[in-house]
Amino acid sequence: MDEVVYASVLTSLLATLFMTQKWIGKARSIGIVGKDMNKPNKPEVAEMGGVGVVFGFVLGVLVYIGINTFYYQSQDYLSILAVLCTVLMITIIGILDDILGWKKGITQWKKPLLTIPAAVPIMVINAGHSTMNLPILGPVDWGILYPLAIVPIGIVGASNAYNMLAGYNGLEAGMGAIILSTLGYVAYVNNKIGVSVLAFCMVGALLAFLYFNWYPAKVFPGDSMTYSVGALVACLAILGDMEKIAVLLFVPYFVDAVLVSRSKFKAEAFGKVNDDGSLERPYNGTYHITHLAIITLKSLKTKAYERDVVLFLYGIELVLVGLVWVAYL
């Protein structure tokens, strides 16, 4: 069975490498480009690279289903197919946001509403367990409120929070790979193979994308990737009963959401770029965790560069992975 998992992840990685490389040239030729805001000369970079990531992810998962169906005669894939529906639906929403959001002025408060339909596939299969062990209160059975309220809140919240902490070369793909690798491993050691496959197929796709997205980026992920990765994290937490772990791993995103809410969700995560490429805090206030990273790095090493900010946030995420390891493994 492990060989099937390896084949699926490898398929995701190779398919994403191929599709992303093709997409970069096509996107540039038809004008789907955006400015790299953390560079002094603001170069134009291919946008909407999430198309290749989701293609590779879905293909890898379908390889897993196909081999198990025809070779092992297994047909219990309802939850996996529901997750694929959620990811594909929210990818379409992300593409629309990429195309229309900055051109037509879709306001920030409307964006979470657009992502609600993507939660429906997980809601209708009644995924997860309605009983949650809460601090102080202990076990609480949410009953019908779990699929009707908790599930959509989780998926909408995770997808939008993940979408806000973005805009630095390698940040979104790297953070996603760290989080999903952790969830995938926890699922694997608890014999939840389907959940583990979903996680690691996306990890394979994200690592392939990171090859093109690392500094200096040749392609940006766009909302089509950030929405889908955030939604997938929520889906895996629900299916694998890993809500507490996912919440812990999402601490940087909660902090970022609190900080940006102080600007009424108007502040950008980008830094103010100096001529030498180093970054300054762009506002008098601190409205993103990336701004907090710039302040911290400047206090430690005088200058903060884009790669420093990304690696700093990777480090924070890896500390949280360590806490997960100590507390749950």
In sequence order, what are the residues at sequence separation of 6 or more whose Cβ sits closer than 8 angstroms to the Cβ of residue 305? 277, 278, 279
* CB-CB neighbours of 51 under 10 Å: 25
Residue 106: what pLDDT? 59
State if pTM tops 0.75. yes
% of residues, the chain, pLDDT over 90: 83
Tell how many helices (H) and how many strands (E) occur in the chain. Answer: 15, 6
Element (H, E) at 35: strand 33-35
Report pLDDT digits (tens) over 206-255.
999 999 999 999 999 999 999 999 999 999 999 999 999 999 999 999 99
What are 107-134's pLDDT values in tens digits? 666 678 888 999 999 999 998 888 777 6
Torsion over CA of 306, 311, 312 and 315, rounded to 10 degrees?
Answer: 170
Average pLDDT for residues 31-54, to the nearest whole number?
95
